Amino acid sequence: MDDAARYRDRMRRKKELVDRRIARATIDRGVLVVNTGNGKGKSSSGFGMLARSLGHGFHCGVVQFIKGSFSTGEEAFFRRFDGDGVDYHVMGEGFTWETQDRDRDIAAAMAAWDIAEQMLGDASYDFVLLDELNIALTKAYVPLERVLAALAVRPGRQHVVITGRGAPDALVAVADTVTEMRVVKHAFQAGIRAQHGIEL
């Protein structure tokens, strides 16, 4: 058997395997995705799924926890769809080391959670992105039990993406898909400041 024939045979067997796996995936419902870890790309992935959802004509909601003291490229872009496919809420007051006021951080996070909880209870939302919610959970700004309860009773077709480092174990346990981003190398470590289009 020559190389081309071996390749065709290998791909035929792989296709059979993939086709069997696809045939076994018969459940059709909303999924809970958690993006966590210390590496870059958690929010970027969430906003990529937001773009994909808009492409399918979904009604989407975005609540950004923590972030808010500076404008980001994703906010500037997706605000174009605000009220026309996306309900976009930036609710944070910036990084906690900048605010230095725990009570104020808790109040901002709880105000964000109130909006998020409404979205999770509303079947008109097909896709909800809760950006940096994990930070609010690990800092105990938002009660984990309340988040888990809202996720458990959300509409059956609603997709939810939660981002931020330090996802609690209980959230990871109930999620359908969990990705942990790992730092291999980061420009900031070499003294390169945050760049528009990359971090901002």
State the pLDDT at residue 129: 98
- Confidence grade of residue 93 (pLDDT, cut at 50, 70, 90): low
19-23, 68-72, 81-85: which has the highest mean pLDDT?
19-23
In the predicted structure, residue 162 carries a pLDDT above the cut 90: yes
In the predicted structure, residue 122 carries a pLDDT above the cut 70: yes
Query: Tokens at residue 48, please?
Result: 């990529």
State the pLDDT at residue 199: 79
In the predicted structure, residue 150 carries a pLDDT above the cut 60: yes
pLDDT of 23-80, one tens digit each? Answer: 998 889 999 999 999 999 999 999 999 999 999 999 999 999 986 656 788 888 998 8
- Cβ–Cβ contacts within 10 Å for residue 74, how many? 22
Q: Nearest to residue 105, comparing CAs of 131, 130, 135, 75? A: 135
Residue bearing tokens 């979205």: 119
State the pLDDT at residue 118: 98
- pLDDT: which is higher, 56 or 189: 56
State the pLDDT at residue 41: 94
User: What's the rounded Cα separation, in Å, for the pair 35 and 30?
Assistant: 16
- pLDDT: which is higher, 81 or 56: 56
State the pLDDT at residue 65: 93
State the pLDDT at residue 83: 80
Residues 119-131 have a mean pLDDT of: 98
Range in 57-71, 89-103, 127-141 with the lowest mean pLDDT = 89-103
State the pLDDT at residue 68: 61
In the predicted structure, residue 130 carries a pLDDT above the cut 60: yes
Strand order in the sheet with 127-131: 86-90, 60-64, 127-131, 159-163, 32-36, 177-180
Helix (H) or strand (E) run with residue 125 in it: none
Residues 119-132 have a mean pLDDT of: 98
Q: 195 near 80, Cβ under 8 Å?
A: no
- What is the assigned CATH class of domain 29-190? alpha beta
State the pLDDT at residue 99: 64
Residues 192-197 have a mean pLDDT of: 83
User: What's the rounded Cα separation, in Å, for the pair 194 and 41?
Assistant: 14
